[in-house]
Amino acid sequence: MDLQQLVRPNILALKPYSSARSEFTGDAEVFLDANENPFDTGLNLYPDPLQWKVKKKLGKLKGVAPDNIFLGNGSDEVIDLLVRIFCNPGADRIVILPPTYGMYRVCADICGVEVAEIPLTPQFQPDVAAILADADEHSKLLFLCSPNNPTGNVFDPARIEALLQGFPGIVVVDEAYIDFAAGPGCLALLEDYDNLVVMQTFSKAWGLAGIRLGMAFAGRAIIDLMNKVKPPYNVNQLTQEAVLHALDNQSQQQQWVTSLLGQRVLLQQFLSGLDFVTRIYPSDANFLLVKVKDPKGLYLYLVNQKIIVRDRSNVLLCEGCLRITVGAPEENERLVQALVAYGNG
């Protein structure tokens, strides 16, 4: 991969903002360099711009060196940065595989970057031949969401590797739901492919959507570019403290995942007995994609019962489907009761 060819020229030439906290990193006792308020509120100082404490702890958990980690204000910041680093507005494009997560297109649209859509196969897998046939030197980013939102399935590892080998740009694998999946994901491929970016998040399995923290794992060259373009203090102090606490309590995350996977099975079994449910797609995530006879009617019925699911019935390849998040046991029980009443009514 020739990174010089892939990166926008203005980004290659960019002289990044240099904050007080990044200019002096040695040992000192009196800091009069950043115009902070000296009176201790616990939050009066700027946070570490590169979040080293978090990255060291996270790196151990993921088996990735801290230098190969980028942390963003949610995965959504990572997506936005990648588009702005690699895609020249009006010239380059990103490639997405609908049906998939909506933010890839939104970030490209905001930047005036074209979006090529290559639909998934009917089995919800990437159409490798079609993706590679469409790609050229302007195809800068390929977004693979695995497990995919809203279909819930993981992509075939052989197809992901074929794309890593054949795609001319950067391949981004969004693993927001990987903690719910049976397989190991793509982190192990980082050693072999310098055009790979793996994204994960604290928003789902870790129960921390409110702190806004997303992860990107990649080779040093790509991580350096992201650090160059990001706002200096993109991950705030409260977020860094909250995630350090969560990383010290990993058994909690594992308990939640175990519970949700058990609930997913129960919900699957229950739904499969309903005559208005025509198909339940296999899920490697914390939600189920469910095809029903009257999706709009059922959606509105559930809203009336004060239960909100996601109507995906107008989405390509998801015609007639609702996406249902696996909730806490009491929430799922309420859904079950409502669906029983709907079936009887």
Q: Which residues sit at the interface with ligand PLP, rule CB under 6 A? A: 74-76, 101, 145, 149, 174, 176, 201, 203-204, 209, 214
* 239 vs 263 by CB, closer to ligand PLP: 239
CA-to-CA distance for 57 and 64, rounded, in angstroms? 10
Residue among 3 and 244 whose Cβ is closer to ligand PLP: 244
Q: Please identify, using beta-carbon distances, which residue of 68 and 203 lies nearer to ligand PLP.
A: 203
Q: How far is CA 146 from the centre of its chain?
A: 9
Nearest position to ligand PLP, beta carbon: 74
* DSSP string for residues in 196-236: EEEEEESSSTTS-GGG--EEEEE-HHHHHHHHHHS-TT-S-
Judged by CB, which is closer to ligand PLP: 215, or 271?
Answer: 215
Please report how close the Cβ of residue 63 comes to ligand PLP at its closest, in angstroms: 21
CB of 286 to ligand PLP, least distance (A): 10
Q: Considering the complex, what minimum distance in angstroms separates the CB of residue 344 from ligand PLP?
A: 34
Upper half-sphere CA count for residue 25 (Cβ side, 13 Å): 10
Q: How far apart are CA 237 and CA 44, in angstroms?
A: 10
Strand 170-174 with 139-145, pairing: parallel
For the CB of residue 100, give the shortest distance to ligand PLP in the complex, in Å: 7
Residue 325, burial from CB neighbour count under 10 angstroms (0-12, 13-18, 19+): middle
Least distance between ligand PLP and beta carbon 49 (Å): 19
Q: Specify the residue, 140 or 212, whose C-beta has the smaller distance to ligand PLP.
A: 212
Alpha carbons 78 and 195: distance in angstroms, whole number = 15
